[in-house]
């Protein structure tokens, strides 16, 4: 069981489950609430939960060990996350969760492309086919009628 808990696949699958719940719960919570207010409330909850985990696991001292370079990229990542969440909640307030979420998951396609272009990561031809199928599937769900 310990090996499974150390598996990136387990955590990625759990991330997918929680992302799916995020879409459904957010759609329900957006009723009568401006999308920016909903995003702000969600962000407060994420910050509080993460702070509790960092403090509860004794990792607070690691905050002082973050290099300037890492801090810069984490701040930029936080800004990108905030922009993503604001856009996502606006999209959910305007459209069906079942159509918004697949377009949002085009991020998978973009990560593959950016990973290859910017990080020098490589995928096999079969993996690129999978990326293309993800793009096609998202388009079919979002625009297929």
Structure confidence at residue 114 (pLDDT): 97
How far apart (Å, rounded) are the C-alpha atoms in residues 101 and 23? 7
Average pLDDT of the segment spanning 95-106? 93
Would you place residue 144 in the very low, low, confident or very high pLDDT band (cuts 50, 70, 90)? confident
120: left (phi over 0), alpha (psi -120 to 50) or beta: left
> Comparing 1 with 28, which gets the higher pLDDT?
28
CA 45 to CA 25: how far, in whole Å? 14
Question: What SS3 state is found at 5?
Answer: helix
Ramachandran quadrant class, 34 (left: phi over 0; alpha: psi -120 to 50; beta: rest): beta
User: Which residue in 117, 42, 136, 54 sits closest to 84, CA to CA?
Assistant: 42
Per-residue pLDDT band for 143 (boundaries 50, 70, 90) equals: confident
Neighbours of 2 (CB within 10 A): 6
Confidence check: pLDDT of 103 > 80: yes
Q: How confident is the model at residue 3 (pLDDT cuts 50, 70, 90)?
A: confident
Residue 145, burial from CB neighbour count under 10 angstroms (0-12, 13-18, 19+): exposed
The tens digit of pLDDT for each residue in 64-90 reads: 999 999 999 999 999 999 999 999 999
Domain assignments of the chain as residue spans, ordered by start: 2-95, 105-145
Q: Is the pLDDT of residue 101 over 80?
A: yes
Q: How far is it, in rounded angstroms, from Cα 142 to Cα 96?
A: 9
């Amino acid at each position: 069981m310990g090996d499974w808990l150390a598996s990136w696949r387990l955590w990625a699958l759990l991330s997918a489950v929680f992302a799916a719940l995020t879409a459904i719960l957010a759609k329900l919570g957006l009723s009568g609430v401006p999308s920016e207010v909903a995003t702000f409330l969600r962000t407060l909850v994420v910050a509080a939960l993460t702070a509790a985990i960092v403090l509860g696991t004794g990792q607070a001292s690691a905050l002082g060990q973050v290099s300037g370079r890492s801090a810069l990229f984490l701040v930029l990542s936080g800004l990108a996350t905030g922009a993503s969440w604001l856009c996502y909640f606006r999209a959910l307030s305007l459209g069906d969760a079942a159509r918004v979420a697949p377009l949002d998951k085009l991020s998978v396609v973009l990560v593959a492309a950016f990973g290859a272009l910017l990080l020098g990561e490589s995928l096999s031809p079969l993996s690129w086919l999978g990326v293309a199928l993800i793009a096609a599937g998202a388009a079919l769900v979002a625009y297929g009628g």
